[in-house]
Chains A and B, each alone.
Chain A
Amino acid sequence: MNLKKTILQIIRGTGAKEEQATLNVWKDEAEESLKALKEMQYIDELSPMLHNYQDVNTQKAWTKIHGQEQITSRRGNTDFRKIAAIFLVFIGAVSLFYLAKTTNSTSENLVYDGNKTQSVQLADGSDITIEKNSILTSKGYRDVTLDGNAYFDIAKNPEKTFSVTIHGGKVIVLGTEFRINTSKERTSISVTEGKVKVIFSSKEFALTAGQFLVLSSNEQAFITEHDITPSHWKSNILVFENKSLKHVMENIAAYYDYRLEWPSTNEPDACKINTRFDDETLEQVMSELEILAGISFEISGKTIVIKSFKC
């Protein structure tokens, strides 16, 4: 298209209809780019103010101010509450101590549940981190039942396996690290160290470090690879350097405990992802990948469906 000629024709009112349409598209596009340009210019001009910008720990500050604000706003009966609280903590500590003592000898039918994440150390040296609203029942020596989400770091004992009863099955290990999230509808197991045997509705699975298994009664079992380690869950930070999009997605799915559906086309995954997710929700992570890798996706239930991507 000869732009000058077209513009002249339109000014004179002699332009063809379709030429006018083309020009309108061009004008809209130009306005859009101008807007983009102005916005980028604004970022560019504002950014030097970031010189010497300070990071602070908002969460820590909130905890601090939160405590003070409650004390000052309820000054009248603070003392009573404080005494009661200290007394309760004391009773709690004594009973815990008593419980711990009895555990060593019998370790039977101990139940852990509660409204916050807690760490439990078993008599055999194993560590179990039980997430909020999850229930762990100890049925005997190295024999527990789980409902909910827990992370296991099991001490090695070649003589006696450690078993976790889950909804619809059982997980058996000698000594290893893994995570289980189990409910009536769905169970997922993620292994970070060693080997794990899983029995689920008369099927057996052998998992090794770096594998993530999703089980449910109405869907096919799903296994994928990842390199999520306990430190990721503890620090809430995921870092990817020069990794393929598929690798990134597999890790994200395992981290957030989702099943991943990758497009069935054999399109090569040429993306090289360099990024860092710092304590972000799945929604935030996905919207960033939308920008970085042009993925289009859908989250239905506990499944992430990748429809397409472009890089």
Chain B
Amino acid sequence: MSETPLWVQLANLLAAVLFILTLKGLSHPRTARRGVMLGALGAAIATVVVFFSGIPYKNLLIILIALVVGSVIGWIAAKRVAMTQMPQMVALFNGVGGGAAALVSIIEYLESGGENRAFLVATVFTVVIGSVSFSGSIVTFLKLQELITTRPVVLPGGKYITILVAAATVAAAVWLVIAPATWLLVTLLALALLFGILFVLPVGGADVPIVISLLNAFTGLSVAAGGYVLGNVLLIVAGTLVGASGTLLTKLMAEAMGRPLTGTLFGAFNASATAAGGPDGDRPVKSGSAQDVAIMLGYANKVILVPGYGLAVAQAQGTLRELAEELEAKGIEVDYAIHPVAGRMPGHMNVLLAEANVPYEQLKEMEEVNPEFADTDVALVVGANDVVNPAAKTDTSAPIYGMPILDVNNAKQVVFLKRSMRPGFAGITNELLYDPKTTLLFGDAKASLTDVVTAVKEV
């Protein structure tokens, strides 16, 4: 390759600084949007100047076409995706990034023949981590999109298969560094892709967002290693920033959810069928009509609304706000209790409710709202389940054991708006549903809420 002009290198330095400012900006609500703008600017600068970095122009047309095609696909996908489906979109974007990093290293290997040992190690690292991130993210996407089961998938002997594949991947990686061969690289690629799938399959429920964050950090690291292979400082800086901040973020998320990180990381290795379904189905529950619920709400002094993913799926955020306004007009105190992982990811529910113009001040976080349930007359749970499941506190065998929950069971009365008795994302039974003080209103969240709003007006 020919010499990179100085101004191009300085432009890359500028892009690296802009990326740092992006992450910095994203740490505070007030500066977050500006941060994203700076990041996009940095990305644009880096993408333009690479064409002036002394590269040969022989494949220019196909490069530009690929660039436009990818950009358009990314743009449309990001613009079209419903806010409820945003977590799986992030997973997908992350996966293709990891895939791209692996492919870049493969080409560099094919070009250079892998004569340099240090670069070879970095190449192997990029291919393995990038591929794991790619296939793992695809499985995560399929889980969140509910195209495959959201429960932990435990294959018979899965633990041993996973260990075997992991060992084979490491062996192939080491062998490739000692005796480079293209067929070995292809084998390594296949093994790493397989490992990515096995790594994510046993993960279920609340651990899925943590895995997305972890795979995000993985992709960052593989991009950094790819940058090392190419001798490109911008890739090293950007990839490492994401790798490091992503690792810390994964840890912060795991802490926010009370999940031990090692449990997520090594779930694949010690997966012992935890899919505790429990005998349910024909136990008695108390179900009521919209009128019953309206009366309970209308004569309450204090109501706490607990929105969950089901609310978002039914696009009923606006109707819930209507109900809140209706109750407030009657002089009833209304708050929203937001669990850190309400929705599918930390902060997801805040985004969804902000979209429906729910006043920011009414959104109360878990630690703030939990003591208030004791003097709450009615807790109205709309499309949430796992985040109010007392099993997280009492049942040590439950997959969600240890996750902090909203203490809805302390309220004087509990109302669940649910589509069916189907368990939540984590796939475990919620004892609270069978509690005598619980009333269930079955149906689509939006339809049920609309009925309740109408009935409340008449109370």
Is B truly associated with A?
no
